[in-house]
Structure 1
Protein backbone atom coordinates (compact mmCIF):
# COMPACT_ATOMS: atom_id res chain seq x y z
CA UNK A 1 0.00 0.00 0.00
CA UNK A 2 1.32 3.41 -0.96
CA UNK A 3 1.57 5.88 1.89
CA UNK A 4 -0.06 9.24 1.44
CA UNK A 5 3.31 11.02 1.81
CA UNK A 6 3.22 13.30 -1.20
CA UNK A 7 1.70 16.18 0.74
CA UNK A 8 3.93 19.17 1.60
CA UNK A 9 4.89 19.55 5.25
CA UNK A 10 3.65 23.11 5.51
CA UNK A 11 0.45 25.13 5.35
CA UNK A 12 -0.85 28.19 3.53
CA UNK A 13 -0.58 30.18 6.76
CA UNK A 14 3.11 29.33 7.12
CA UNK A 15 3.79 30.18 3.48
CA UNK A 16 2.12 33.58 3.86
CA UNK A 17 3.96 34.33 7.12
CA UNK A 18 7.31 33.32 5.62
CA UNK A 19 6.72 35.49 2.56
CA UNK A 20 5.91 38.50 4.75
CA UNK A 21 9.04 37.97 6.85
CA UNK A 22 11.27 37.72 3.79
CA UNK A 23 9.70 40.84 2.30
CA UNK A 24 10.21 42.80 5.53
CA UNK A 25 13.86 41.70 5.68
CA UNK A 26 14.50 42.84 2.12
CA UNK A 27 12.73 46.15 2.73
CA UNK A 28 14.78 46.70 5.89
CA UNK A 29 18.11 46.28 4.13
CA UNK A 30 16.97 48.31 1.14
CA UNK A 31 16.16 51.24 3.43
CA UNK A 32 19.58 50.90 5.04
CA UNK A 33 21.46 50.79 1.71
CA UNK A 34 22.63 47.19 2.04
CA UNK A 35 22.74 45.45 -1.33
CA UNK A 36 21.35 41.94 -1.77
CA UNK A 37 23.71 39.59 -3.59
CA UNK A 38 22.88 36.31 -5.32
CA UNK A 39 25.71 33.84 -4.79
CA UNK A 40 26.50 30.36 -6.14
CA UNK A 41 25.47 27.47 -3.92
CA UNK A 42 27.98 25.20 -5.71
CA UNK A 43 31.70 25.92 -5.53
CA UNK A 44 35.02 24.15 -5.96
CA UNK A 45 35.97 25.33 -2.45
CA UNK A 46 34.43 24.07 0.76
CA UNK A 47 34.21 25.28 4.34
CA UNK A 48 37.41 25.58 6.38
CA UNK A 49 35.67 24.80 9.69
CA UNK A 50 36.58 21.19 10.62
CA UNK A 51 33.32 20.78 12.57
CA UNK A 52 31.05 21.48 9.58
CA UNK A 53 30.60 18.92 6.81
CA UNK A 54 29.74 19.87 3.22
CA UNK A 55 27.70 17.93 0.71
CA UNK A 56 29.87 16.81 -2.20
CA UNK A 57 28.53 16.87 -5.76
CA UNK A 58 30.38 14.66 -8.23
CA UNK A 59 31.05 16.39 -11.55
CA UNK A 60 33.10 15.28 -14.58
CA UNK A 61 35.42 18.26 -14.11
CA UNK A 62 35.94 17.59 -10.41
CA UNK A 63 34.12 17.59 -7.09
CA UNK A 64 31.95 20.56 -6.20
CA UNK A 65 30.54 21.45 -2.79
CA UNK A 66 27.20 22.81 -1.67
CA UNK A 67 27.99 25.90 0.38
CA UNK A 68 27.51 25.69 4.14
CA UNK A 69 27.21 29.48 4.35
CA UNK A 70 27.79 32.47 2.06
CA UNK A 71 30.72 33.69 4.19
CA UNK A 72 33.59 32.88 1.83
CA UNK A 73 31.94 34.24 -1.30
CA UNK A 74 30.71 37.38 0.47
CA UNK A 75 34.10 38.17 1.95
CA UNK A 76 35.64 37.73 -1.48
CA UNK A 77 33.20 40.35 -2.79
CA UNK A 78 33.93 42.72 0.08
CA UNK A 79 37.69 42.41 -0.40
CA UNK A 80 37.26 43.55 -4.01
CA UNK A 81 34.51 46.17 -3.73
CA UNK A 82 34.30 47.29 -0.05
CA UNK A 83 30.50 47.22 -0.22
CA UNK A 84 27.74 46.46 2.28
CA UNK A 85 26.02 43.22 1.28
CA UNK A 86 23.48 40.72 2.49
CA UNK A 87 22.56 37.23 1.35
CA UNK A 88 19.18 35.62 1.91
CA UNK A 89 19.06 32.15 0.42
CA UNK A 90 19.88 28.49 0.77
CA UNK A 91 22.80 26.82 2.52
CA UNK A 92 23.57 23.15 3.17
CA UNK A 93 25.28 21.21 5.97
CA UNK A 94 25.59 17.45 5.77
CA UNK A 95 25.64 16.70 9.50
CA UNK A 96 22.95 19.18 10.58
CA UNK A 97 19.95 16.95 11.31
CA UNK A 98 17.78 17.32 14.39
CA UNK A 99 14.92 19.14 16.05
CA UNK A 100 16.45 22.55 15.31
CA UNK A 101 18.49 21.75 12.20
CA UNK A 102 17.87 20.59 8.65
CA UNK A 103 20.58 19.73 6.10
CA UNK A 104 19.04 22.36 3.78
CA UNK A 105 18.02 25.69 5.28
CA UNK A 106 17.54 29.38 4.55
CA UNK A 107 20.25 31.64 5.90
CA UNK A 108 20.51 35.41 6.31
CA UNK A 109 24.03 36.79 6.50
CA UNK A 110 25.21 40.37 6.05
CA UNK A 111 28.38 42.43 6.31
CA UNK A 112 28.95 46.11 7.02
CA UNK A 113 32.27 47.77 6.21
CA UNK A 114 32.05 50.80 8.50
CA UNK A 115 30.35 49.28 11.56
CA UNK A 116 31.77 47.85 14.76
CA UNK A 117 30.24 44.96 16.67
CA UNK A 118 28.05 47.27 18.75
CA UNK A 119 26.59 48.89 15.63
CA UNK A 120 25.75 45.41 14.33
CA UNK A 121 24.12 44.43 17.62
CA UNK A 122 21.86 47.47 17.37
CA UNK A 123 21.08 46.67 13.75
CA UNK A 124 20.13 43.10 14.64
CA UNK A 125 17.66 44.36 17.24
CA UNK A 126 16.24 46.86 14.75
CA UNK A 127 15.79 44.09 12.18
CA UNK A 128 14.07 41.78 14.67
CA UNK A 129 11.83 44.65 15.76
CA UNK A 130 10.76 45.18 12.15
CA UNK A 131 10.23 41.49 11.44
CA UNK A 132 8.24 40.98 14.66
CA UNK A 133 6.04 44.01 13.87
CA UNK A 134 7.17 45.97 16.92
CA UNK A 135 6.35 43.33 19.52
CA UNK A 136 8.14 43.61 22.85
CA UNK A 137 9.56 40.08 22.71
CA UNK A 138 13.06 41.59 22.49
CA UNK A 139 12.57 44.41 24.95
CA UNK A 140 15.31 43.26 27.35
CA UNK A 141 18.70 43.47 25.61
CA UNK A 142 21.98 42.84 27.46
CA UNK A 143 25.51 43.25 26.10
CA UNK A 144 28.28 41.43 27.98
CA UNK A 145 31.92 40.81 27.24
CA UNK A 146 33.15 37.22 27.28
CA UNK A 147 35.30 38.06 30.30
CA UNK A 148 32.38 39.61 32.19
CA UNK A 149 30.30 36.46 31.64
CA UNK A 150 32.91 34.36 33.42
CA UNK A 151 33.52 36.85 36.19
CA UNK A 152 29.82 37.41 36.89
CA UNK A 153 29.06 33.68 37.07
CA UNK A 154 32.25 31.98 38.29
CA UNK A 155 34.46 34.89 39.45
CA UNK A 156 37.28 33.80 37.14
CA UNK A 157 39.10 35.48 34.27
CA UNK A 158 39.14 33.20 31.19
CA UNK A 159 42.02 35.16 29.68
CA UNK A 160 44.25 34.69 32.74
CA UNK A 161 43.72 30.98 33.42
CA UNK A 162 46.28 28.54 32.08
CA UNK A 163 45.27 25.53 30.00
CA UNK A 164 46.13 23.25 32.92
CA UNK A 165 43.89 25.23 35.27
CA UNK A 166 41.03 24.99 32.78
CA UNK A 167 41.58 21.24 32.40
CA UNK A 168 41.52 20.81 36.17
CA UNK A 169 38.28 22.77 36.43
CA UNK A 170 36.61 20.67 33.72
CA UNK A 171 37.87 17.44 35.27
CA UNK A 172 36.48 18.33 38.70
CA UNK A 173 33.17 19.72 37.48
CA UNK A 174 32.42 17.63 34.38
CA UNK A 175 34.43 14.42 34.61
CA UNK A 176 37.88 12.96 34.05
CA UNK A 177 37.29 12.50 30.30
CA UNK A 178 37.98 16.23 29.86
CA UNK A 179 41.30 16.21 31.75
CA UNK A 180 43.42 16.54 28.60
CA UNK A 181 41.13 18.70 26.49
CA UNK A 182 42.40 21.67 24.51
CA UNK A 183 42.08 25.18 25.87
CA UNK A 184 39.30 26.01 23.41
CA UNK A 185 37.36 22.85 24.29
CA UNK A 186 37.62 23.62 28.01
CA UNK A 187 36.38 27.17 27.52
CA UNK A 188 33.50 25.95 25.35
CA UNK A 189 32.52 23.36 27.95
CA UNK A 190 32.56 25.89 30.77
CA UNK A 191 30.57 28.39 28.74
CA UNK A 192 27.94 25.85 27.67
CA UNK A 193 27.52 24.18 31.06
CA UNK A 194 27.91 27.09 33.48
CA UNK A 195 27.83 30.47 31.75
CA UNK A 196 25.01 30.11 29.24
CA UNK A 197 22.39 28.84 31.74
CA UNK A 198 23.14 31.83 33.99
CA UNK A 199 22.80 34.53 31.32
CA UNK A 200 20.08 37.17 31.84
CA UNK A 201 16.67 36.64 30.29
CA UNK A 202 15.87 38.29 26.98
CA UNK A 203 18.39 38.93 24.22
CA UNK A 204 22.04 38.63 25.27
CA UNK A 205 24.96 39.66 23.05
CA UNK A 206 28.33 38.22 24.10
CA UNK A 207 31.30 39.97 22.52
CA UNK A 208 35.09 39.63 22.66
CA UNK A 209 35.12 35.85 22.56
CA UNK A 210 38.62 34.62 23.29
CA UNK A 211 39.48 33.42 19.77
CA UNK A 212 38.14 36.64 18.21
CA UNK A 213 40.13 38.75 20.63
CA UNK A 214 43.37 36.91 19.86
CA UNK A 215 42.75 37.30 16.14
CA UNK A 216 42.20 41.02 16.66
CA UNK A 217 45.38 41.42 18.72
CA UNK A 218 47.43 39.59 16.11
Structure 2
Protein backbone atom coordinates (compact mmCIF):
# COMPACT_ATOMS: atom_id res chain seq x y z
CA UNK A 1 0.00 0.00 0.00
CA UNK A 2 2.92 2.35 0.75
CA UNK A 3 4.14 2.02 -2.87
CA UNK A 4 0.78 3.21 -4.24
CA UNK A 5 0.80 6.21 -1.90
CA UNK A 6 4.19 7.24 -3.29
CA UNK A 7 2.76 7.11 -6.84
CA UNK A 8 -0.11 9.48 -6.03
CA UNK A 9 1.00 13.05 -6.82
CA UNK A 10 0.59 15.83 -4.25
CA UNK A 11 -2.78 17.67 -4.36
CA UNK A 12 -1.45 20.66 -6.35
CA UNK A 13 -0.19 18.29 -9.13
CA UNK A 14 -3.24 16.01 -9.39
CA UNK A 15 -5.19 18.03 -11.97
CA UNK A 16 -2.21 18.52 -14.37
CA UNK A 17 -1.32 14.81 -14.01
CA UNK A 18 -4.92 13.73 -14.75
CA UNK A 19 -5.03 16.04 -17.82
CA UNK A 20 -1.64 14.76 -19.03
CA UNK A 21 -2.63 11.11 -18.53
CA UNK A 22 -5.94 11.73 -20.34
CA UNK A 23 -4.13 13.37 -23.26
CA UNK A 24 -1.60 10.52 -23.46
CA UNK A 25 -4.38 7.91 -23.33
CA UNK A 26 -6.33 9.74 -26.05
CA UNK A 27 -3.28 10.07 -28.30
CA UNK A 28 -2.41 6.40 -27.79
CA UNK A 29 -5.95 5.30 -28.67
CA UNK A 30 -5.97 7.60 -31.71
CA UNK A 31 -2.62 6.18 -32.90
CA UNK A 32 -3.84 2.59 -32.43
CA UNK A 33 -7.07 3.26 -34.34
CA UNK A 34 -5.42 5.31 -37.11
CA UNK A 35 -2.67 2.71 -37.65
CA UNK A 36 -5.22 -0.14 -37.66
CA UNK A 37 -3.04 -1.82 -35.02
CA UNK A 38 -5.47 -4.67 -34.30
CA UNK A 39 -5.29 -5.78 -37.96
CA UNK A 40 -1.62 -6.71 -37.45
CA UNK A 41 -2.66 -9.59 -35.20
CA UNK A 42 -4.36 -11.28 -38.19
CA UNK A 43 -2.94 -13.11 -41.21
CA UNK A 44 -4.95 -11.02 -43.68
CA UNK A 45 -2.62 -9.92 -46.55
CA UNK A 46 -4.47 -6.59 -46.85
CA UNK A 47 -2.88 -5.64 -43.53
CA UNK A 48 0.45 -5.34 -45.32
CA UNK A 49 -0.88 -2.50 -47.46
CA UNK A 50 -1.86 -0.36 -44.49
CA UNK A 51 1.44 1.27 -45.44
CA UNK A 52 1.02 2.27 -49.10
CA UNK A 53 4.69 1.52 -49.87
CA UNK A 54 3.80 -2.19 -49.88
CA UNK A 55 1.23 -1.84 -52.67
CA UNK A 56 3.62 -3.17 -55.38
CA UNK A 57 4.36 -6.26 -53.28
CA UNK A 58 0.67 -6.82 -52.55
CA UNK A 59 -0.44 -6.42 -56.17
CA UNK A 60 2.32 -8.70 -57.52
CA UNK A 61 1.54 -11.34 -54.87
CA UNK A 62 -2.13 -11.15 -55.96
CA UNK A 63 -1.03 -12.09 -59.50
CA UNK A 64 1.28 -14.92 -58.37
CA UNK A 65 0.80 -18.66 -57.96
CA UNK A 66 1.47 -18.30 -54.23
CA UNK A 67 -1.76 -16.36 -53.70
CA UNK A 68 -3.76 -19.60 -53.51
CA UNK A 69 -1.41 -21.24 -51.00
CA UNK A 70 0.38 -18.65 -48.89
CA UNK A 71 -0.39 -15.31 -47.27
CA UNK A 72 2.28 -12.71 -46.48
CA UNK A 73 2.71 -14.12 -42.96
CA UNK A 74 3.19 -17.67 -44.25
CA UNK A 75 6.42 -16.53 -45.91
CA UNK A 76 7.61 -13.53 -43.90
CA UNK A 77 6.95 -14.59 -40.28
CA UNK A 78 8.39 -17.59 -38.36
CA UNK A 79 5.96 -20.49 -38.23
CA UNK A 80 7.67 -22.81 -35.73
CA UNK A 81 5.84 -21.46 -32.66
CA UNK A 82 3.20 -18.85 -31.83
CA UNK A 83 5.33 -16.86 -29.37
CA UNK A 84 8.18 -16.52 -31.86
CA UNK A 85 5.71 -15.55 -34.60
CA UNK A 86 4.16 -12.65 -32.66
CA UNK A 87 7.49 -11.52 -31.19
CA UNK A 88 8.93 -11.32 -34.72
CA UNK A 89 5.81 -9.52 -35.99
CA UNK A 90 6.07 -6.98 -33.16
CA UNK A 91 9.79 -6.36 -33.65
CA UNK A 92 9.55 -6.15 -37.44
CA UNK A 93 6.34 -4.10 -37.26
CA UNK A 94 7.86 -1.49 -34.94
CA UNK A 95 10.83 -1.17 -37.30
CA UNK A 96 8.54 -0.80 -40.35
CA UNK A 97 6.30 1.70 -38.54
CA UNK A 98 9.26 3.86 -37.52
CA UNK A 99 10.72 3.85 -41.04
CA UNK A 100 7.34 4.62 -42.62
CA UNK A 101 6.47 7.34 -40.09
CA UNK A 102 9.79 9.12 -40.61
CA UNK A 103 9.44 8.72 -44.42
CA UNK A 104 12.75 6.85 -44.46
CA UNK A 105 11.70 3.94 -46.68
CA UNK A 106 14.19 3.21 -49.46
CA UNK A 107 13.21 3.29 -53.13
CA UNK A 108 14.03 -0.41 -53.38
CA UNK A 109 12.74 -2.37 -50.38
CA UNK A 110 15.00 -5.26 -49.36
CA UNK A 111 14.69 -7.77 -46.54
CA UNK A 112 16.91 -7.40 -43.50
CA UNK A 113 19.09 -10.34 -42.44
CA UNK A 114 16.58 -11.68 -39.89
CA UNK A 115 13.83 -11.60 -42.52
CA UNK A 116 16.04 -13.35 -45.09
CA UNK A 117 16.51 -16.25 -42.68
CA UNK A 118 12.77 -16.44 -41.92
CA UNK A 119 11.75 -16.44 -45.59
CA UNK A 120 14.37 -19.07 -46.46
CA UNK A 121 13.17 -21.31 -43.61
CA UNK A 122 9.57 -20.93 -44.77
CA UNK A 123 10.49 -21.79 -48.37
CA UNK A 124 12.08 -25.00 -47.06
CA UNK A 125 9.14 -25.69 -44.74
CA UNK A 126 6.69 -25.70 -47.65
CA UNK A 127 8.96 -27.17 -50.32
CA UNK A 128 11.02 -29.63 -48.28
CA UNK A 129 10.23 -32.54 -50.62
CA UNK A 130 11.55 -30.58 -53.60
CA UNK A 131 14.87 -29.64 -51.97
CA UNK A 132 15.70 -32.95 -50.31
CA UNK A 133 17.00 -35.72 -52.54
CA UNK A 134 16.70 -39.15 -50.88
CA UNK A 135 19.51 -40.64 -53.02
CA UNK A 136 21.91 -37.80 -52.22
CA UNK A 137 21.07 -37.74 -48.52
CA UNK A 138 22.15 -41.39 -48.30
CA UNK A 139 25.44 -40.90 -50.14
CA UNK A 140 26.52 -37.25 -49.77
CA UNK A 141 27.76 -36.15 -46.37
CA UNK A 142 25.72 -33.35 -44.75
CA UNK A 143 23.34 -33.22 -47.73
CA UNK A 144 20.36 -32.41 -45.49
CA UNK A 145 22.16 -29.46 -43.83
CA UNK A 146 23.82 -28.15 -47.00
CA UNK A 147 20.78 -28.35 -49.27
CA UNK A 148 19.99 -24.73 -48.45
CA UNK A 149 23.44 -23.19 -48.82
CA UNK A 150 21.94 -20.94 -51.51
CA UNK A 151 18.85 -18.81 -51.05
CA UNK A 152 15.80 -20.09 -52.94
CA UNK A 153 15.25 -16.76 -54.67
CA UNK A 154 18.72 -16.80 -56.22
CA UNK A 155 17.09 -18.97 -58.89
CA UNK A 156 13.40 -18.27 -58.29
CA UNK A 157 13.74 -14.47 -58.41
CA UNK A 158 10.26 -13.70 -59.64
CA UNK A 159 8.38 -15.81 -57.07
CA UNK A 160 6.01 -14.49 -55.81
CA UNK A 161 6.57 -10.76 -56.40
CA UNK A 162 7.64 -10.73 -60.04
CA UNK A 163 10.30 -8.33 -61.18
CA UNK A 164 8.84 -5.32 -59.34
CA UNK A 165 11.31 -4.21 -56.69
CA UNK A 166 10.91 -0.47 -56.42
CA UNK A 167 8.24 1.99 -55.35
CA UNK A 168 8.29 3.74 -58.72
CA UNK A 169 8.16 0.67 -60.95
CA UNK A 170 4.73 -0.72 -60.17
CA UNK A 171 3.63 -2.74 -63.17
CA UNK A 172 0.13 -1.33 -62.82
CA UNK A 173 1.25 2.30 -62.51
CA UNK A 174 -1.67 4.58 -63.24
CA UNK A 175 -3.98 1.58 -63.69
CA UNK A 176 -4.13 -0.12 -60.33
CA UNK A 177 -6.99 -2.66 -60.58
CA UNK A 178 -10.32 -1.69 -59.01
CA UNK A 179 -10.13 -4.50 -56.44
CA UNK A 180 -6.93 -2.97 -55.02
CA UNK A 181 -8.03 0.65 -54.99
CA UNK A 182 -8.57 0.56 -51.22
CA UNK A 183 -4.82 0.07 -50.83
CA UNK A 184 -4.03 3.33 -52.65
CA UNK A 185 -3.83 6.39 -50.38
CA UNK A 186 -5.95 9.41 -51.26
CA UNK A 187 -2.98 11.63 -52.18
CA UNK A 188 -1.67 9.01 -54.63
CA UNK A 189 -5.11 8.53 -56.24
CA UNK A 190 -5.35 12.30 -56.73
CA UNK A 191 -1.85 12.42 -58.24
CA UNK A 192 -2.62 9.55 -60.63
CA UNK A 193 -5.86 11.24 -61.80
CA UNK A 194 -3.99 14.50 -62.44
CA UNK A 195 -1.26 12.57 -64.26
CA UNK A 196 -3.85 10.83 -66.49
CA UNK A 197 -5.58 14.17 -67.21
CA UNK A 198 -2.25 15.74 -68.30
CA UNK A 199 -1.56 12.77 -70.57
CA UNK A 200 -4.95 13.15 -72.25
CA UNK A 201 -4.32 16.86 -72.98
Compare the two structures and name the one with the higher helix fraction. Answer: 2
TM-score, normalization by structure 1? 0.22
- Please give the TM-score of this superposition, normalised by the length of structure 2: 0.23
More strand by share: 1
Relative contact order higher in (CA < 8 Å, ≥ 6 apart): 2
